[in-house]
A and B are shown apart, each in its own frame.
Chain A
Amino acid sequence: MAFSFDLLFEALLFGILLGGFYAAVSLGLSVSFGLLDIPNVAHPAVLLLGAYGAFSLGHYGIDPIMAGVLLMPVFFVAGALFYKAYYLVFERRGDAAAVNGLAFFFGVVFIIEVGLVLWYGVDQQSATAPYIGGSLELGEIRLPYRLLAAFSVALVMALALSTYLSKTFYGRAIKAVGQDEGALRLMGVDPVKVKQLAFGIATGVNALAGAVLLILAPIEPTMDRIYIGRTFCVVVLAGLGSMSGTLAAGLILGIAESIVLMFLGASWAPAVAFGLLMVMLGFRPQGLFGR
């Protein structure tokens, strides 16, 4: 592909929008894995659950993003209850439970996938909305509205989560529980309840992020596997637990992929995420925004 500044500019714009999508689908994991240190490999499967939930509400004429917002409280409660069960069965047992916990989350992945196959069938499902299928024309450049919508949702979610975690008491408690559980207990705060709240938030965020997944492309019950590597990569690249870092890491990844895809070819795109991760771990093991 011949280089031109027009193409480079366009690749940058697409990269920013794609990066917003990567950030949106990684924010929940940034809380559960980044802050709580829970090996939540079921994160993309829960995202997919959110996407199917938004798809189902679409049958009642509800816009996918609005459906995601409506599903957030349901997912929050489910996530909080789920963490309680995880804590009682695995976390309370100590270090030896880590591998068991990982196996447990893989089990959750399969249960969700099989459940989706049984309920929705194996066909691809897609949503309709005024912003799906159209694009914003800026001269020669056309930006798909669905990517603009994904980027906007990611921006709002990252800002809201970042503000909540840094400005509120419970937000700071969530950050603290990831750093020193014992100290938090000495302050009279129950770390299990804080973690329950945090896992609820991480799961709730996934409902909206799932809606973003639905508007980006058609969904099918096993597509969560595609996102396991990429979401973990964004979270580690960001620095575990940093919301603004997650947004920045998503954008860096999106821009790098888009430029590589435009000028080198799509085959190289998957190598970008893990190439960047390796470079980052070599020079700054704590990630971009990690402490």
Chain B
Amino acid sequence: MDLSRRKLIGTASSITVASSMFSVPAWANNPIKIGMSMPQTGPLGAGGKAALLALKMWVEDVNSRGGLLGRKIEFTAYDDQGNPANTPGIYSKLLDVDKVDLLIAPYATVPTAPIMPLVKQRAKLLMGNFSFQVNAKVKHDMWFNNAPWNDAEGWFAGFLQAAKDSNAKTIAITASDQEFAQNLANGVRSGLARTGLSSVYDQNYPPTTKDFSSIVRAIRSTKPDVVFVASYPGDSVGIVNAAHEIGLGPTVKIFGGGMVGLQFTPIMESLGSKLNGIINYNTYVPGMPLKGIDDFFKRYTAKAVAEKVDPLGYYLPPFNYATGQMLEQAINATKSIDDKAIAAYLRSNTMDTIVGPVKFDAGGERANQRVIMAQFRGVKDKDLEQFRSPQRQVIIHPSADKTGDMVYPYEKARKA
């Protein structure tokens, strides 16, 4: 072939220009894959969808900044329906088929518990998602829970302190027959002796229970000073409704404790004034001074309204965004997506997040826990906006975040 030098240079230049026109950045071809399952339907679906929205916000934020280590984040989330039978299969798929680089746990204890042996066996980092004590027995050294609690004692310390402050002597305990509620209730049971409380009623109920009238009646007949409930969202609504209809009795000074769901906006809105007087755990209520959280909620609310999920999103979303922030800091600092390197960094550094500084203990739970006990006050029916006010949920514990004193007995607090 008789190819002149000019033609050769011209052809080479054309190929170079053309290839640069159609080439894609290196990061687009080699994204960092992060995968998880999340309850998007089922009884935990409302919380799960709100949490997922926050994680997607973090992914968008990171990708708009150019990704991590120059690589785009590719995020995969499957619906596990909150069903623990679904999660092992989903996480196997994430690891073996989707070949994700990093894993985030599904929201809640029950769906997370069955995947713990798998991730430990495969030596994968797992960012926990509001689980309670799922790593206590498995002892996986690459587990890091985003929830602001640690062990049962720290979790319910505020509730038992409230019981002590009200001079309560007896307690009725009712808990859902599943992992989270049982871990919590067992913690309360083991802590009774130290607080001088004696148990007058202690029954578990099956998670399929829909009407709680008989349970509330049975509790009422034991005339307790304190009623401690550990329940999932649907049960919490049923128990609050039944307590309102049947009445807990005049002896009750404190009612609440570990009711999941009373932090979700749709449930708070639907229960309205029935919430008044209840003292329940929470993770964030308006008025807590946290750097950057106001900006997060401003952006979150706009997206949540459009996607028909929890419009306030105080409970799970900021902590899920924080999960992303922690991964981002660890990856940038270690310049690696190696599970062990990220885990080592997370274990030995305090992370800066929108839910405040996060420090982990050896078990991957929060070393600087911050579970708050808040009492609902002055809640009116059918008013979503009222929950933006710090006055609707008064923090009675811990003292560092305290915004008011507890009102008791329960009958008086209902009218406060």
Contact = CB atoms under 8 A, between A and B. Distances in A.
Interface of A: 1, 4, 7, 10-11, 14, 18, 21, 113, 117, 121-126, 133-135, 142, 144-147, 216-218, 220-223, 226, 258, 261-262, 265-267, 269-270
Given A133-B241, A142-B245, A122 B41 contact: yes
A126 B217 contact: no
A216 B211 contact: yes
Interface of B: 40-43, 45-46, 48-49, 81, 174, 177, 201, 203-206, 208-211, 213-215, 217-218, 221-222, 233-234, 237-238, 241-242, 244-247, 264, 266-267, 270, 274, 308-310
Given A122-B40, A217-B237, A135 B46 contact: no
Contacts of B177: 267
B234 A267 contact: no
5 nearest interchain CB pairs?
Answer: A122-B45, A266-B205, A123-B266, A144-B245, A135-B245
A269 B177 CA distance: 12
6 contacts: A1-B221, A18-B211, A113-B41, A122-B42, A262-B217, A270-B206
Nearest to B249: A140
B210 A216 contact: yes
Given A1-B218, A14-B213, A133 B204 contact: no
A217 B214 contact: no
Given A7-B221, A258-B214, A226 B208 contact: yes
A244 to B, nearest CB: 24
A168 to B, nearest CB: 35
A225 B43 CA distance: 12
Contact of A122 (B49, B221, B242, B246): B49
Given A216-B210, A222-B42, A144 B204 contact: no
Contacts of B46: 121-124, 220
Contacts of A11: 214
Given A218-B270, A267-B205, 11 more contacts: A1-B201, A117-B45, A121-B308, A142-B246, A218-B238, A220-B45, A222-B43, A226-B208, A261-B214, A265-B204, A266-B205
Contact of A126 (B201, B209, B237): B237
Contacts of B210: 216-217, 223, 226
A121 B305 CA distance: 12
Contacts of A216: 210-211
Contacts of A223: 43, 210, 234
A217 B239 CA distance: 10
A121 B218 contact: no
A261 B234 CA distance: 19
B274 A133 contact: yes
Contacts of B274: 133
A124 B234 contact: yes
B270 A124 contact: yes
B266 A147 contact: no
Nearest to B82: A222
A93 to B, nearest CB: 33
A222 B41 CA distance: 7
B249 to A, nearest CB: 10
Given A133-B241, A221-B41, A144 B246 contact: yes
A147 B40 contact: no
B38 to A, nearest CB: 11
Contacts of A124: 46, 233-234, 237, 266-267, 270
Contacts of B209: 266, 269
Contacts of A123: 45-46, 264, 266, 310
A226 B41 CA distance: 15
A16 to B, nearest CB: 12
A267 B241 CA distance: 20
A261 B274 CA distance: 25
B203 A267 contact: yes
Contacts of A144: 213, 242, 245-246
Contacts of A134: 245
Contacts of A266: 174, 203-206, 209, 214-215
A4 B223 CA distance: 15
A142 B270 CA distance: 23
Interface centre among A124, A135, A144 (most CB of B within 10 A): A124
Given A218-B237, A220-B43, A220-B45, A10 B217 contact: yes
Nearest to A10: B217
B245 A126 contact: no
Contacts of B266: 123-124
B206 A218 contact: no
A267 B270 contact: no
A125 B267 CA distance: 8
Nearest to A122: B45
Contacts of B81: 222
A44 to B, nearest CB: 12
A145 B209 CA distance: 19
A133 B242 CA distance: 8
B50 to A, nearest CB: 10
A7 B216 CA distance: 12
A123 B311 CA distance: 12
B225 to A, nearest CB: 18
Contacts of B45: 117, 122-123, 220-221
A77 B161 CA distance: 59
Contacts of A125: 270
A18 B217 CA distance: 14
A14 B214 contact: yes
A267 B211 contact: no
A265 B218 CA distance: 9
A216 to B, nearest CB: 6
Interface centre among A4, A122, A217, A266 (most CB of B within 10 A): A122
A144 B206 CA distance: 22
Contact of B234 (A133, A145, A220): A220
A135 B234 contact: no
B213 A217 contact: no
A121 B270 contact: no
A241 B266 CA distance: 40
Nearest to A150: B211
Nearest to B270: A126
